[in-house]
Structure 1
Amino acid sequence: MQKSNIPHFGLYGESSWINDPEFFHIEDIESRSGDLGWKINPHRHAQLFQILILKSGEAKVQLDDQKQKLQGAWAIIVPAGVVHGFRFAPETDGRVLSIAEPLLEGAYEERAAKYIQPLLSQACYIDFNGHRNMFSELWPLIQQLESESTFIREGRGLMSEYLIKAILLLLHRQHTNGVIKDTNKTESSDAQQLKELIEKHFRDHWSSHQYADALSTSTSRLNRLCKMTFNQSVIDLAHDRLLLEAKRSLIYTVRSVEEISYDLGFKDPGYFSRFFKRLSGFPPGKFRALSDQPSI
């Protein structure tokens, strides 16, 4: 695969960012990809959260450095910043829902937060094959949202916001497969804040103590929370985020290993190479060579 800077779009193929905190967009898969040979090359969005709903057909999906082949009914969750690409079989039926992150920020303070927040932070696949009853509840909401986006009607923005939250709640139900989990509200909020802090400071190589101070808690309590929620320590979580960004840079840019190491806050490229090999199993150069293969 030819390497270049990672394309950064508002919507795919549109280089300008749509500066509207209440922006959402829904379209069928064919209208965006049909004229492009049913292929969307790897790219990412700065402030857009996306959901792809596949009703039928087939899709080869790339999320960061992972690839998956999906058939039938699926939902694909793509948080902001995740590199993603698709190749659809012709006549694949589905919708792409793009949501400006600020539109969802109000949900953080609502009762829906514990259901919606987990979907916003990590890319995932949600299987609806064999669960057509659940999909039959989801699809009319998608169609109604599509209708709201087409016609100018009173209360359109508010109705769209309610429909988006309903869609996210249904996706959460299917993702957890009906298992109800009791989550302490304070701990859930702290876990989400930790993820947001790591996103802001992973290049600064913060220590566990710095993250704990920022959250006004102790290092031991934060590590317990992190283990319980993510099954990792604070530092392991931060290192995983560094590794992910390193992989993105190695796969999708032409920058040298040295340039990437400095961009990620490493003062010594040699240490970066050892760090990368310890976590990935390969030196950076070999990882890049192994990734240098045709895109999906």
Structure 2
Amino acid sequence: MLRRDIDIPYQHLPFTGQFNIFPLGSFNSELARLPHRHDHYQLIWFTKASGQHIVDFVSYELEDNMLFLLEPGQVHQLLDCRKEGHAITFTEQFYFSNQQERETLYDFTHLFDTASGYGPIYISDRAAPALQLLTELMYREKNGTGSNRSIIKHYLNAFLLHAEREKKRNAAKAIAPLRGDERVVHLRQLLEKNFRVQHQVTFYATAFALTPKRLNEITREKTGKTVTELLHDRLVLEAKRKLSFSHKSVKEISYELGFEDPAYFSRFFKNHAGIAPQDFRDVMFK
């Protein structure tokens, strides 16, 4: 039996190293049907697929040519899935192996940004052949004699740039695309660093030299939500992850998320998730 203070470990794919690419059809594991997470970045390109892909407890109906970008720690699972395509996994250390590369290479981290909400990228018929060629080149280089890390990295870089272009194309086709605002991006970053300990809008407004009212006006205009709503969304997501992937008690989780009163945390979670924390955990482990 696992100790209650030890987190369930991240699921490791049966491939090692800082970079891997493999066909989705070659990976058939019942573990994929269960909620799980990885400690690296993942690009999952479903060239042909049906079924459901659940990411951070939100279900997406799979279609052909859907690309999912997953950050380390994001929760996902596949249900009733028929799939063809490719999975590319890599670490930040693989991509940025030194400070010079961090300063000169394309910074892929903003590609994974969810400031305007998470969702898959729909790959156009025009872009698909280029992405397919790049995956074939990555396979060839990785599996060939004398595999060269720099060559793989350049192919990966090109794949990411194509993905970014398709993401922008998707946004342009949206019915009512949200106008960008760097302050919202920075707010998301600030929330990510501080949501466990800073639950007051005043803290975040001060960082922008704005009043709480003005910051709320900006975030509501750009995201449809107030700062408090964004903060609560992040707290609930983290609570769901901890309830699903650790044996820590609800009381321990509440303290880790900055709630001094576990009973208040339970009410907070039920109000936002529609289910009590322990009931959510029980459902996840059925």
What TM bracket, shorter-length normalisation? 0.7 to 0.9
Tell me, in whole angstroms, the C-alpha distance in 2 between the residues paired with 1:126 and 1:98: 17
Q: How does 1:7-86 map to 2 (within 5 A)?
A: 7-9=9-11, 11-13=12-14, 23-31=18-26, 33-34=27-28, 36=29, 39=32, 41-46=34-39, 48-86=40-78
Given that 1:258 and 1:269 are in contact with CA atoms closer than 8 Å, whether structure 2 keeps it comes out as: yes
SS of alignment partner, residue 195 of structure 2: helix
Residue 262 in 1 paired to residue 255 in 2? yes
Residue in structure 2 matched with residue 245 of structure 1 by the alignment = 238
Compute the TM-score of the two structures, normalised by the length of structure 2.
0.76
Contact 1:76–1:123, Cα closer than 8 Å, also in 2: no
Measured after TM superposition, the shift of residue 243 of structure 1 is 0.6
1:210-221 alignment runs, 5 A limit: 210-221=203-214
1:212 shift after superposition: 2.5
Tell me, which stretches of 5 or more residues in structure 2 are unaligned?
Answer: none
Report the secondary structure of 2:196's partner residue: helix
The alignment covers a number of residue pairs equal to: 274
Residues of 2 paired with 1:269 and 1:166: CA distance?
Answer: 45
Could you list the per-position Cα deviations for residues 181-239 of structure 1 after superposition, in whole angstroms to 9, with x for gaps in the alignment? 6956xx32x32222122112111033222123334544344323322332111121111
Structure 1 residue 290: deviation in Å?
3.9
SS at match of 1:227: helix
Which whole-Å CA distance do the structure 1 matches of 2:240 and 2:213 have between them? 30
Partner of 2:155: 160
Identity of aligned residues (%): 25
* Partner AA of 2:257 in structure 1: L
Is the Cα contact below 8 Å between 1:53 and 1:73 reproduced in 2? yes
Match of 1:275 in 2: 268
| Structure 1 equivalent of residue 86 of structure 2 | 95
SS in 2 for 1:132: coil
CA contact (8 A) 1:60 1:68 kept: yes
Corresponding letter in the other structure for 1:7: P
Identify if the C-alpha distance between structure 1 residues 25 and 221 changes in structure 2 by more than 3 Å, giving closer, same or farther: farther
Matches within 5 A, 1:216-235: 216-235=209-228
Instruction: Please list every run of 5 or more consecutive structure 1 residues that lacks an aligned counterpart in the other structure.
Output: none
1:62 and 1:84 in contact (8 A); partners too = yes
**What is the alpha-carbon root mean square deviation over aligned residues?**
3.8
Distance across 2 between alignment mates of 1:275 and 1:263: 15
Report the Cα distance in structure 1 between the residues aligned to 2:52 and 2:278, rounded to whole angstroms: 26
- In structure 2, relative to structure 1, the CA distance for the partners of 1:13 and 1:196 (3 Å cut) is farther
Q: Is the contact between residue 138 and residue 156 of structure 2 (CA under 8 Å) also seen in structure 1?
A: no
